[in-house]
Amino acid sequence: MPGLAFRTCPVLVGREAELAKLNDVLHTAIGGRCVLAAVTGEAGVGKSRLLREAAAAGREFQVLAGYCREQDRDYPFAPFVEALREHLRRSGAAVRIPPGPENHALASLLPELATHLPSPPLELPPEQEKRRRFEAVTALLRHLTARQPILLLLEDLHWADTTSLELLELLTRRLATDRVAIIATARTDEPGSTFGSALVRLRRERLLDVEIALEPLDRQGVSLMLEHMLSLSLSSVVTQAVHERTGGNPFFVEELIAAAPPEDATAWLSQEAAVPKTVRDTVLQRLQRLDANVRFVANVAAVCGLRWPFELLVAACGLPEEDVLTAVEVLVEQQVLVEWPSEGQAEFAFRHALVREAIYSRLLLPRRRALHRLVGEVGEAQKERLGDGDLGYHFHAGQQWEKTLLYAARAGEAARAVHATAEAQRHYRRALDAAKALHTPSASDLHRRCGQCLALLGAFEAAKEHLEEALQGARLQGNLRLEQEALYDLAGLYASRDYNLGRQMAEEALALARRIGDSLGEALALNRLGNILTNLLHFAQGRALHEEALQRFAVLNDRWGSADSLDLIGMARYLSGEVPEARAAFGQAAMMFQDLNDPERVASALTSSGLYLAVLDGPCGTDASPSKCRQEVEAGLALCRQLGWRAGEIYALVALACLDVAEGRHSGALRLGESALAMATEIGHHQWSIISLLTLGLVHADLFDFQGALSHFSPALESARAGGFSQWTERLEAWDAYCRSRLRVAGAVIALQGMAPADFRPSTIGQRRALCGLIHHQLAAGRAAQALEMLEGMLTGASGPRPSPLLLLYAQGLAAEGKRDEAEATLLEARRLALEFGPRSVLWQCAAERSALWRDQDGQTSSQEARLARTEVAALAASVGSESLRSAFLHAPQVRPWAGPGGRSRTALAPGVPGGLTAREGEVAVYVAQGLTNKGIAEQLTLSEKTVEMHVSSCLGKLGFTSRTQLAAWVVGERLASMSQGAGQHPYRDG
Q: Lowest-confidence range among 117-131, 387-401, 442-456?
A: 117-131
Whether residues 782 and 880 fall in one domain: yes
The pLDDT of 757-765, averaged and rounded, is 92
Residue 631 pLDDT > 60: yes
Within-domain flag for 877: yes
Within-domain flag for 657: yes
Rounded CA separation 867/855 (Å): 13
Tell which of 703, 734, 760 closes a domain.
703
Highest mean pLDDT among 65-69, 100-104, 305-309, 469-473: 469-473
> What does the pLDDT read at residue 987?
37
Residue 205 pLDDT > 90: no
> What does the pLDDT read at residue 408?
94
Whether residues 639 and 684 fall in one domain: yes
Whether residues 667 and 757 fall in one domain: no
User: What is the full DSSP assignment across 257-304?
Assistant: HHHS-GGGHHHHHH-TTTS-SSHHHHHHHHHHTS-HHHHHHHHHHHHH
* Residue 127 CB-half CA count within 13 A: 14
> What does the pLDDT read at residue 95?
52
Residue 40 DSSP symbol: E
| Contact yes or no for 78/72 (Cβ under 8 A) | yes
Closest CA to 486 of 497, 475, 495: 475
Rounded CA separation 814/788 (Å): 8
Residue 651 pLDDT > 80: yes
Tell which of 306, 328, 356 closes a domain.
356
Closest CA to 151 of 45, 46, 36, 19: 36
Tell which of 356, 374, 397 closes a domain.
356
Closest CA to 129 of 598, 514, 604: 598
Within-domain flag for 179: yes
By percentage, how much of the chain surpasses pLDDT 90? Answer: 48
Hey, how many other C-beta atoms are within 10 angstroms of the C-beta on 516? Answer: 12
pLDDT band at 542 (very low <50, low <70, confident <90, very high): very high
CATH number where 114 lies: 3.40.50.300
Whether residues 943 and 848 fall in one domain: no
Residue 520 pLDDT > 90: yes
Within-domain flag for 460: no
Residue 52 pLDDT > 60: yes
Highest mean pLDDT among 21-25, 257-261, 652-656, 722-726: 652-656
By percentage, how much of the chain surpasses pLDDT 70? Answer: 86
Whether residues 253 and 108 fall in one domain: no
| Contact yes or no for 991/830 (Cβ under 8 A) | no
| Contact yes or no for 259/281 (Cβ under 8 A) | no
CA distances from 645 to 138, 407, 477, 673, 732 (A): 19, 29, 36, 17, 27
Whether residues 73 and 197 fall in one domain: yes
How many domains does the chain contain in total? 6
> What does the pLDDT read at residue 532?
93
934: left (phi over 0), alpha (psi -120 to 50) or beta: alpha
pLDDT band at 50 (very low <50, low <70, confident <90, very high): very high
Whether residues 686 and 798 fall in one domain: no
> What does the pLDDT read at residue 305?
85
User: What is the full DSSP assignment across 873-884?
Assistant: HHHHHHT---HH
Rounded CA separation 75/164 (Å): 9
Q: Which amino acid is at 850?
A: R
CATH number where 648 lies: 1.25.40.10
Largest pairwise CA distance in the chain:
109
Within-domain flag for 22: no
| Contact yes or no for 358/284 (Cβ under 8 A) | yes
Range of the domain at 228: 219-276
The pLDDT of 707-735, averaged and rounded, is 93
Within-domain flag for 473: no
Within-domain flag for 646: yes
Whether residues 814 and 896 fall in one domain: yes
> What does the pLDDT read at residue 344?
65
Rounded CA separation 200/644 (Å): 13
Hey, how many other C-beta atoms are within 10 angstroms of the C-beta on 35? Answer: 24
The pLDDT of 433-453, averaged and rounded, is 94
Whether residues 787 and 936 fall in one domain: no
Residue 94 DSSP symbol: G
CATH number where 968 lies: 1.10.10.10
Hey, how many other C-beta atoms are within 10 angstroms of the C-beta on 31? Answer: 10
More confident residue, 75 or 541: 541
pLDDT band at 900 (very low <50, low <70, confident <90, very high): low
Residue 901 DSSP symbol: G
| Contact yes or no for 846/831 (Cβ under 8 A) | yes
More confident residue, 984 or 638: 638
Within-domain flag for 108: yes
339: left (phi over 0), alpha (psi -120 to 50) or beta: beta
Residue 765 pLDDT > 90: yes
Whether residues 737 and 675 fall in one domain: no
Bridge-based pairing state of the strands 210-213 and 35-41: parallel
pLDDT band at 979 (very low <50, low <70, confident <90, very high): very low
> What does the pLDDT read at residue 633?
96
What digits encode the pLDDT tens for the residues 256-279?
777 666 655 655 565 543 334 456
Rounded CA separation 688/655 (Å): 12
Residue 703 pLDDT > 50: yes
User: What is the full DSSP assignment across 933-983?
Assistant: -HHHHHHHHT--HHHHHHHHHHHHHHHT--SHHHHHHHHHHTTGGGGBTT-
Angle among Cα 303, 306, 310 to the nearest 5 degrees reads 80
Mean pLDDT, the chain, whole residue set: 85
> What does the pLDDT read at residue 96?
57
Whether residues 563 and 591 fall in one domain: yes
Whether residues 627 and 695 fall in one domain: yes
More confident residue, 297 or 353: 297
DSSP bridge partners of 181: 35, 151
| Contact yes or no for 904/981 (Cβ under 8 A) | yes
The pLDDT of 129-143, averaged and rounded, is 85
Cβ neighbors of 128 (< 8 A, separation 6 or more) are 597, 598, 599
292-304 and 310-317 helices cross at what angle (nearest 10)? 120
Highest mean pLDDT among 100-114, 484-498, 923-937: 484-498
Residue 99 pLDDT > 70: no
Cβ neighbors of 937 (< 8 A, separation 6 or more) are 924, 927, 928, 943, 948
